[in-house]
Amino acid sequence: MAKQHPASAEARSAGATIYSVADHAGVSIATVSRVLQGATVVAEATRQKVLTAVEELGYVPTGAARSLAVRHHEAHGLVLPELSGPYYAELLMGFEARAAELAQSVVLVLTNSRTDMAAAVRQLATRVDAIAVFGSAAIPADLVRVLRAKKPVVVIAGEPQDGIEAVAAENLESARELAGHVLDHGRRRALFVGDPDSGPDIRNRYEGYLAAHRDRGLDAADPVLARLSEADGTAFAQRLLAGEREADALMCANDELALSIMTTLQDAGRDVPGDIAIVGWDDVMTARYVRPGLTTVRQPVHELGALAADRLHELVGGEPPRTYAQMLPTRLVVRTSCGCPPVT
């Protein structure tokens, strides 16, 4: 007879435990564990008895107990600023999908909804084996350091820093190509809209914009500082309409900015790309619905998320962190807002 576990008296009324299942099936808890984990062979008859008991008792194992015993959580943490727009959502989907394949749960933390993100991350570290953090989410450096000592961390769309791996989409070269494309339409007063200091990805896009000018021996203007929001786009468009700024081309740090500027301008009677070319970054859904279609850059966001999950898993497995950022290629999506003729 299996040993009577102290808790098993009340087990029937509260949740079932491995003890109550064992009792019910007339086997030991080790056997129950074995059929549930499927690691060792169990006689078919025994297996059935256990499965039946599980079913009858509605047994749901306590993950925490397993985690404690096996000494890892089988979960990855993901820290994102927020989820508006397709970018983060796609990233998350890629991450989740790969994590699922690797049998890892994903616990998500959105920092924009937190007042104390340091606490949130500290608490997250408590229940996962590794953490992926989106680059522009400003993590207190010391926190990262603490984490690094114990749990693998990878930065998404950021840069590697001592011991913390990074994965990113290529930005600089595609930005250079995109800006070059616009300049080659003959535009000479192109402006970059976005804040290069808001994160490494935007900075690289700006660098590309600079490089394209340099390539052609042209002078580039300072960036027009704006956050990646419709509001900032509309505001800038107003300034353009008011004549405060002059431009015949706009290279926006992302599509939301580009789209809000474009429609504001159009509603005021301006012709895009006739009067002014506008390009964005991200290739959001709207980019192909607006007229003219928005020329932009498609990033392999889904793959980026998957890659992050992958790396996390391998780091947990003991692989040493890479010291260089892994770059995923991006792709220029040329529509007509840049000045290209419609294909029809």
Partner DNA sequence: CACCCGTATGTAAGCGCTTACATTACCAAG
Partner DNA sequence: CTTGGTAATGTAAGCGCTTACATACGGGTG
Q: Does 40 help bind DNA (rule: CB under 7 A)?
A: yes
Count the neighbouring beta carbons within 10 Å of the beta carbon of residue 178: 26
Q: Which neighbouring-strand residues pair with 165?
A: 154
Q: Which residues of 77-104 are buried (b: 16+ CB within 10 A; e: fewer)?
A: bbbbbeeebbbbbbbbebbbebbeebeb
Residue closer to a copy of itself, measured from CB, 171 or 296: 296
Among 14-22, 74-82, 112-120, 285-293, which window interacts with DNA (CB under 7 A)? 14-22
28 in Cβ contact with 1 (< 8 Å): no
Residue closer to DNA, measured from CB, 57 or 92: 57
Residues of span 229-268 touching a copy of itself by CB under 8 A: 256, 259, 263
Q: Does 42 help bind DNA (rule: CB under 7 A)?
A: yes
Q: Does 290 help bind a copy of itself (rule: CB under 8 A)?
A: yes
Q: Indicate the length of the chain as a whole number.
A: 344
17: partner contacted, choices DNA, a copy of itself, none (Cβ within 5-8 A by kind): DNA
Q: Does 105 help bind DNA (rule: CB under 7 A)?
A: no
143: partner contacted, choices DNA, a copy of itself, none (Cβ within 5-8 A by kind): none
Residue closer to a copy of itself, measured from CB, 75 or 277: 75
CA distance 30 to 20: 12
Q: Which neighbouring-strand residues pair with 250?
A: 191, 278
Q: Does 216 help bind DNA (rule: CB under 7 A)?
A: no
335: partner contacted, choices a copy of itself, DNA, none (Cβ within 5-8 A by kind): none
* CA–CA distances in Å: residue 26 to residues 2, 6, 208, 280, 333: 7, 17, 69, 66, 65
27: partner contacted, choices DNA, a copy of itself, none (Cβ within 5-8 A by kind): DNA
Q: Does 7 help bind DNA (rule: CB under 7 A)?
A: yes
Residue of 4, 37, 48, 126 that binds a copy of itself (CB under 8 A):
126
Q: Does 43 help bind a copy of itself (rule: CB under 8 A)?
A: no
Q: Which positions from 137 to 156 touch a copy of itself by CB under 8 A, shown as an x/- string?
A: ---------xx-xxx-----
Residue of 12, 48, 55, 68 that binds DNA (CB under 7 A):
68
* Interface ranges with a copy of itself (CB under 8 A): 15-16, 58, 60-68, 73, 75, 82-86, 88-90, 92-93, 96-97, 100, 105-110, 113-114, 120, 122-127, 146-147, 149-151, 256, 259, 263, 284-286, 289-291
* Interface ranges with DNA (CB under 7 A): 1-3, 5-7, 14-15, 17-19, 26-31, 33-34, 36-37, 39-43, 45-46, 59, 61-62, 65-66, 68-71
